[in-house]
């Protein structure tokens, strides 16, 4: 036998404390410091420009900026609207496909949607839906359009297309989260009970399974909401422009030639944070209200045999949106190989590899940077996550709610709220620059997702395996390296793939902390999307989507190859 | 690549200024200059990459382009660094800049200089007080930024769809009324959108000379009144009913290419021919200018006060003014931007190099472009875009 139990527990607590310290010092502290800087500027303290008196002037300026109230309204409507629609559709699909698609196959089907970064999806989606876009081209021939119709689609003033784009990107994520939560609530038996009581399959799912699943997907829904409210890259490409959503407006004010605009911009960034908090609070309240109202609905005991068509309609809509997302991605790949592709041609008129091989385009360098940052940030995050979970195991501690909150902090606080302040903090302390700073900043967002992806499978590990190893005399380290990690290879690789996907997609952290000097596929793709060459944008966006997708594929293939003679480890269920 | 460069250093080290330049060259060797420049145009990016190769080969100075979506990003970065007390090791060495961004940086004391007169190649540029290269949006340059390419406002149209483009700015209202939804302009928060409004203002203002002075409330009300009447008539017939606007001129060029609009605009008379060669516009795209001429200005590079590689930045600024560099830049197959050099100051070989440049159907010659109108005082642009936002951003 190895070390005595109390010794292992002590080690475990130590391990977890170390990780906590790293998380607090490396994540929470900088975010708080960044928020502090922004907050100071929002209240008139910005010594570099000679503002050193506390005042509410920046707020007054903010409220008087043209279009401010519309921007605020647009943010709330698009953020809340897209989240609710994505949630309803995801639930409808989950209720319809229940039992027919196991979580793992679902993950494989949905991986391309999760892998495609928001900006790439948005660029493709814009081409699909524009008055001169793919759909319009398909209609042009039968309807005899020589010119694109003068319809307002992309960048519509109400943000409807932005809502649609957000739904296409977020619904697969919520669906995946829901499918994997199902494995934890023994949905099969619950459905059998529901069926025995005479409930229609879809209604049984909604009335019996969903209430158990909801607590497991609540935080991811909050993350989706926070993202929808504060997205900059998607809103620039798909959203309204005059005025834009609040997050875009704040980014624009930060970029105004007049340095005095810094102060109202900071106030706007703080307000952006407040909006996210308020929206999450509203969702939480809504949850209570729904829970109360639904009680009588549940007690009435409707078996829901008439609900089929509604569920069918919602599922159909969801499938249509998934197809639109796929078409958007395909259009980008086509563009990257096109030379001329004018309206109303359905396919490119002429082809070229120039977008991929043009000299001096920097594609290779951006790719190398992206890979390096993604691999390092993911490796660090994965190590940290394993250390945390192993620490919990050894200390015999369960999941702590506050720790969960800590992990989610970077995902819930809007990036624009603290990144600028963080940049100032970094510069004044001279802590890190360039690549290192970018890796660290991305880690802020990679670690939470890696932790989310890994913690459930880790905690679901069959404890008998560990006990057997212990009985055979394996110490805690051997149990970790010889039993847990090999058995958990598939979830570890999946978590790594999620980490790479998150890292590749980061735009603002890379831009701010890299001082623009660390070009990645995403920063270049977003910059290029402000230009007019859809073909080059297509090349970047394709790579941007292919990279994480390749990682997802590897995460499925490697265990399948390595464990081809171990059925339960290979992931081939 | 062989390039017959006129090296100031080889002309002799007798004068003290040139001796200083040798010191600059020595200090610059081995530096990497982070040139912050708008990155939305692949040809410009490729030209900047070429500049880096050449300065690396000739002077041991590397150039890294920091691609911006908006020049103000670089200004923000310098301010953030100053806020953090970073006075000597800034991340921005050279900025492609002009207009309000230059005015803001100059007024805040964020620029190094004056340095232009110290550049050996400055002798090819007309730097007399009223010359285009000495005034940036009516703000005297005073040696704080160095010119590198000429910009002149032009309109682009697809001659396959438009037989008769508007003759002047006033004519746009009528043209749009008979072709509703077929034209737009970039959002005025963008440089090009603001220029569209300024171009109209110069033509429509009762007294255009008043625009050369700093704006006052009274002057603004008098001079812009006809502009707003014209714009109120124009706007409902713009693309998407004038409710949304493209982000910048590249997006509008894409709209022209997609056939969503028939007219676009550019600050580079050669950009249309270049875009056709790149497959980004139909072969039938052509350039036109309103009868009274258009706004012209010069693009500059400036060095932030806290730049880490000032000497390298100066070497790059000087290289950009080399006649060989300028004629390479004016080549339509490279960038096609008109040179900022004074033809009268060029010697025979350099002048011949310019004369031998290739032409293209969509490339206007200088005479087609009409007179160059002066930019209004920078304060007008700010007031104009603020007022536009107040009126039309609800």
| Beta pairing partners, B151 | B297
User: What confidence score (pLDDT) does residue B111 get?
Assistant: 94
Residues of A in contact with B248 (CB under 8 A): 530
Question: A118, A327, A331, A325: which is closest to A234 by C-alpha?
Answer: A118
User: What confidence score (pLDDT) does residue A431 get?
Assistant: 59
User: What confidence score (pLDDT) does residue A3 get?
Assistant: 65
Question: B250, B394, B310: which is closest to B115 by C-alpha?
Answer: B310
Domains and their CATH numbers in chain B: 9-150+298-363 (3.40.190.10), 154-296+371-392 (3.40.190.10)
User: Is A473 touching B (CB cutoff 8 A)?
Assistant: no
String of b and e for B228-258 (b: at least 16 CB within 10 Å)? eebbeebbebbbbebbbbbbbbbbbbbbbbb
Q: Dig out the tokens for A270 from the structure.
A: 């703080």
Yes or no, beta carbons of A530 and B187 under 8 Å apart: no
**Nearest residue in B to A341, CA atom:** B258
CA distance A369 to chain B (A): 14
Query: Among B34, B246, B394, whose Cβ lies nearest the Cβ of A70?
Result: B394
Query: Which residues have CB under 8 Å from B378's CB, separation 6+?
Result: B99, B100, B103, B137, B138, B139
pLDDT band at residue B12, thresholds of 50, 70 and 90? very low
Planar angle of CA B302, B303, B305, nearest 5 degrees: 130
Yes or no, beta carbons of A423 and B80 under 8 Å apart: yes
User: Is A256 touching B (CB cutoff 8 A)?
Assistant: yes
Yes or no, beta carbons of A242 and B67 under 8 Å apart: no
User: What confidence score (pLDDT) does residue A477 get?
Assistant: 87
Question: Mutating which of A344, A531, A535 best tests the B interface, going by the most B Cβ atoms within 10 A?
Answer: A531
Question: Mutating which of A40, A530, A534, A540 best tests the B interface, going by the most B Cβ atoms within 10 A?
Answer: A530
| Residue A240 DSSP code | -
pLDDT in tens for each of the 573 residues of chain A?
456 778 878 888 888 788 888 877 777 788 888 888 889 989 988 877 777 888 899 999 999 999 999 999 999 999 999 999 999 999 999 888 876 777 677 777 887 888 777 888 888 999 999 999 999 999 998 998 888 988 888 888 999 999 999 999 999 989 988 887 877 777 778 888 888 888 887 788 888 888 888 988 888 899 899 999 999 888 988 999 889 999 999 988 887 767 788 889 999 999 999 999 999 999 999 999 998 988 888 888 778 777 778 888 999 999 999 999 999 999 989 999 999 998 889 999 999 988 888 755 678 888 999 999 999 999 999 999 999 888 888 887 776 667 777 777 787 788 877 877 777 777 666 656 678 888 988 888 899 889 888 887 888 788 888 889 889 988 888 888 988 898 888 889 989 988 998 898 888 788 777 777 788 888 887 777 666 678 888 888 888 888 888 888 888 888 888 888 776 765 443
User: Which backbone phi and psi does A354 adopt, to 5 degrees?
Assistant: -60, -40
Yes or no, beta carbons of B84 and A427 under 8 Å apart: yes
Yes or no, beta carbons of B40 and A526 under 8 Å apart: no
> How many residues are given for chain B?
394
Q: How many DSSP H helices and E strands does chain B contain?
A: 13, 11
User: What confidence score (pLDDT) does residue A301 get?
Assistant: 78
pLDDT band at residue B243, thresholds of 50, 70 and 90? confident
CA distance A441 to chain B (A): 17
User: What confidence score (pLDDT) does residue B19 get?
Assistant: 67
Yes or no, beta carbons of B76 and A255 under 8 Å apart: yes
> How many residues are given for chain A?
573
Query: Which residues have CB under 8 Å from A341's CB, separation 6+?
Result: A334, A335, A347, A348, A349
Yes or no, beta carbons of A240 and B244 under 8 Å apart: yes
State the pairing for strand pair B372-373/B94-97: unpaired
User: What confidence score (pLDDT) does residue A139 get?
Assistant: 93
CA distance B70 to chain A (A): 8
Query: Among B79, B240, B282, whose Cβ lies nearest the Cβ of A342?
Result: B282
Specify the 3-state DSSP secondary structure of A361. Answer: coil
User: Is A214 touching B (CB cutoff 8 A)?
Assistant: no
CA distance B36 to chain A (A): 9
Mean local confidence (pLDDT), B157-164: 93
Mean local confidence (pLDDT), B308-314: 95
Query: Looking at the predicted structure, is the pLDDT value of residue B169 above 70?
Result: yes
Yes or no, beta carbons of B247 and A147 under 8 Å apart: no
Mean local confidence (pLDDT), B86-107: 89
Q: Cα–Cα distance between A482 and B79 in angstroms, integer?
A: 53
Residues of A in contact with B241 (CB under 8 A): 152
CA distance A318 to chain B (A): 29
Q: Point out the least confidently predicted range of A70-74, A352-356, B127-131, B289-293.
A: B127-131
pLDDT band at residue B222, thresholds of 50, 70 and 90? very high
Yes or no, beta carbons of B42 and A361 under 8 Å apart: yes
Yes or no, beta carbons of B70 and A148 under 8 Å apart: no
DSSP states along A248-277: HHHHHHHT-SSGGGHHHHHHHHHHHHHHHH
User: What confidence score (pLDDT) does residue B86 get?
Assistant: 84
User: Is B88 touching A (CB cutoff 8 A)?
Assistant: no
User: Is B347 touching A (CB cutoff 8 A)?
Assistant: no
Residues of B in contact with A254 (CB under 8 A): 76
Contact B394, A71 (CB under 8 A): no
Size of interface A-B (CB pairs under 8 A): 173
Query: Which residues have CB under 8 Å from A337's CB, separation 6+?
Result: A348, A351, A352, A353, A355, A356, A535
Residues of B in contact with A425 (CB under 8 A): 84
Gyration radius (Cα) of chain A, Å: 25
Query: Looking at the predicted structure, is the pLDDT value of residue B6 above 70?
Result: no
User: What confidence score (pLDDT) does residue B197 get?
Assistant: 96
Element (H, E) at B293: none
* B15-72 tens-digit pLDDT: 455 668 999 999 999 999 999 998 877 788 889 999 999 999 999 999 999 988 778 8
The fourth-level CATH superfamily of domain A1-55+362-573 is MetI-like (1.10.3720.10)
Longest distance between any two alpha carbons in chain B, whole Å: 67
Q: Distances from the Cα of A169 to the Cαs of A323, A329, A495, B116, B154, in angstroms?
A: 12, 12, 19, 51, 40
Q: Cα–Cα distance between B141 and B134 in angstroms, integer?
A: 5
Interface of A with B in 236-255 (CB under 8 A): 236, 240-243, 252, 254-255
Yes or no, beta carbons of A427 and B253 under 8 Å apart: no
User: Is A286 touching B (CB cutoff 8 A)?
Assistant: no
Sequence ranges of the domains in chain A: 1-55+362-573
User: What confidence score (pLDDT) does residue A432 get?
Assistant: 64
How many Å separate Cα A259 from the centre of its chain? 32
Query: Among B72, B161, B187, whose Cβ lies nearest the Cβ of A255?
Result: B72
What's the complex ipTM? 0.80
Yes or no, beta carbons of A150 and B240 under 8 Å apart: yes
Higher-pLDDT residue of B172, A102 = B172
Planar angle of CA B260, B265, B271, nearest 5 degrees: 105
User: What confidence score (pLDDT) does residue A323 get?
Assistant: 94
């Amino acid at each position: 036998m190895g070390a005595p139990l109390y010794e292992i527990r002590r080690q475990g607590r130590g391990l977890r404390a170390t990780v906590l310290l790293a998380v607090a010092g490396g994540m929470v502290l900088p975010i708080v410091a960044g928020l502090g800087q922004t907050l100071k500027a929002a209240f008139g303290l910005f010594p570099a420009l000679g503002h050193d008196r506390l005042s509410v002037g920046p707020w007054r300026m903010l409220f008087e900026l043209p279009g401010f109230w519309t921007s605020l309204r647009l943010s709330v409507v698009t953020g809340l609207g897209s989240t609710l629609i994505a949630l309803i559709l995801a639930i409808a699909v989950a209720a319809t496909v229940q039992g027919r698609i196991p979580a793992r196959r679902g993950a494989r089907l949905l991986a391309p949607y999760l892998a495609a970064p928001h900006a790439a999806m948005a660029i493709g989606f814009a081409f699909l839906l524009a008055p001169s876009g793919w759909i319009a081209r398909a209609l042009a021939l039968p309807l005899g359009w020589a010119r694109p119709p003068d319809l307002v689609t992309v960048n519509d003033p109400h943000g409807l297309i932005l809502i649609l784009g957000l739904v296409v990107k977020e619904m697969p994520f919520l669906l995946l989260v829901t499918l994997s939560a199902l494995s934890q609530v023994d949905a099969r038996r619950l459905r059998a009970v529901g069926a025995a009581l005479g409930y229609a399959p879809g209604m049984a799912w909604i009335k019996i399974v969903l209430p158990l699943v909801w607590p497991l997907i609540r935080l991811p829904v909050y993350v989706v909401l926070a993202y929808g409210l504060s997205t900059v890259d998607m809103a620039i490409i798909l959203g309204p422009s005059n005025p834009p959503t609040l997050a875009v407006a704040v980014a624009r004010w930060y970029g105004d030639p007049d340095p005095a605009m810094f102060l109202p911009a900071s106030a706007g960034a703080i307000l952006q944070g407040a909006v996210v908090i308020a929206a999450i609070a509203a969702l939480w309240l809504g949850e209570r209200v729904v829970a109360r109202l639904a009680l009588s609905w549940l007690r009435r005991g409707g078996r829901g045999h008439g609900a089929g068509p509604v569920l069918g309609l919602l599922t159909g809509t969801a499938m249509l949106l998934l197809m639109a997302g796929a078409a958007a991605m395909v259009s980008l790949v086509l563009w990257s190989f096109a030379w001329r592709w004018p309206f109303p041609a359905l396919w490119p008129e002429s082809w070229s590899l120039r977008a991929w091989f043009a000299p001096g385009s920097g594609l290779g360098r951006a790719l190398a940077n992206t890979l390096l940052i993604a691999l390092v940030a993911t490796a660090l995050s994965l190590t940290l996550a394993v250390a945390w979970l192993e620490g919990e195991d050894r200390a015999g501690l369960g999941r702590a709610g506050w720790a969960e909150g800590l992990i989610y902090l970077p995902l819930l606080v809007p990036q624009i709220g603290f990144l600028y302040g963080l940049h100032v903090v970094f510069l004044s302390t001279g802590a890190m620059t360039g690549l290192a700073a970018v890796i660290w900043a991305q880690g802020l967002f990679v670690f939470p997702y890696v932790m989310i992806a890994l913690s459930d499978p880790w905690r679901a590990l069959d404890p008998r395996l560990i006990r057997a190893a212990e009985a055979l005399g394996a110490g805690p380290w051997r149990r970790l390296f010889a039993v847990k990690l090999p058995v958990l290879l598939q979830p570890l690789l999946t978590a790594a793939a999620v980490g790479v996907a998150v890292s590749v997609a980061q735009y603002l952290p890379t831009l701010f902390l890299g001082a623009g000097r660390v070009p990645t596929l995403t920063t270049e793709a977003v910059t290029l999307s402000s230009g007019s060459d859809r073909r080059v944008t297509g090349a970047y966006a394709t790579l941007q989507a292919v990279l994480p997708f390749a990682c997802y594929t590897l995460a499925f293939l490697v265990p399948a190859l390595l464990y081809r003679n171990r059925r339960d480890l290979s992931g081939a269920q | 690549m062989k390039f017959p460069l006129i090296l100031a250093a080889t002309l002799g080290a007798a004068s003290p200024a040139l001796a200083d330049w040798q010191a600059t060259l020595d200090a610059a060797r081995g530096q990497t200059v982070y040139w912050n420049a708008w990155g939305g145009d692949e040809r410009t990016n490729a030209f900047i990459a070429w500049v880096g190769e050449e300065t690396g080969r000739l002077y041991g100075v590397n150039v890294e382009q920091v691609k911006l979506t908006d020049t103000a990003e670089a200004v923000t970065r310098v301010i953030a660094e100053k806020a953090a007390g970073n006075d000597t090791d800034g991340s921005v060495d050279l900025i492609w800049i002009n207009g309000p961004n230059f005015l803001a940086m100059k007024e805040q004391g964020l620029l190094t200089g004056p340095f232009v007169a110290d550049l050996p190649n400055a002798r090819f540029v007309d730097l007399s007080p009223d010359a285009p290269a000495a005034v940036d949006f009516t703000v005297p340059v005073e040696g704080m930024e160095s010119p590198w390419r000429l910009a002149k406002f032009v309109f682009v149209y697809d001659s396959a769809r438009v037989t008769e483009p508007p003759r002047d700015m006033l004519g746009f209202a009528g043209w749009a009324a008979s072709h509703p939804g077929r034209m737009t302009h970039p959002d005025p928060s963008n440089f090009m959108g603001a220029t569209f409004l300024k171009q109209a203002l110069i033509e429509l203002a009762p007294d255009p000379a008043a625009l050369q002075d700093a704006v006052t409330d009274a002057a603004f009300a008098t001079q812009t009144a006809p502009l707003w009447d014209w714009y109120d008539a124009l706007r409902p017939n713009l693309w998407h009913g004038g409710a949304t606007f493209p982000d910048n001129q590249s997006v509008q060029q894409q709209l022209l290419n997609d056939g969503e609009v028939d007219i676009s605009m550019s600050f580079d008379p050669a950009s249309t021919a270049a875009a056709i060669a790149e497959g980004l516009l139909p072969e039938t795209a052509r350039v036109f200018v309103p009868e009274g001429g258009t706004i012209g200005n010069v693009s500059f590079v400036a060095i932030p006060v806290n730049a880490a590689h000032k000497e390298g930045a100066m070497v790059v600024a000087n290289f950009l003014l080399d006649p060989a560099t300028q004629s390479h830049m004016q080549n339509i197959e490279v960038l096609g931007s008109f040179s900022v050099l004074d033809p009268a100051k060029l010697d025979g070989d350099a002048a011949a190099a310019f004369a031998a440049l290739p032409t293209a159907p969509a490339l206007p010659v200088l005479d087609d472009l009409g007179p160059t109108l002066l930019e209004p005082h920078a304060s007008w642009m700010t007031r104009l875009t603020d007022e536009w936002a107040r009126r039309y951003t609800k």
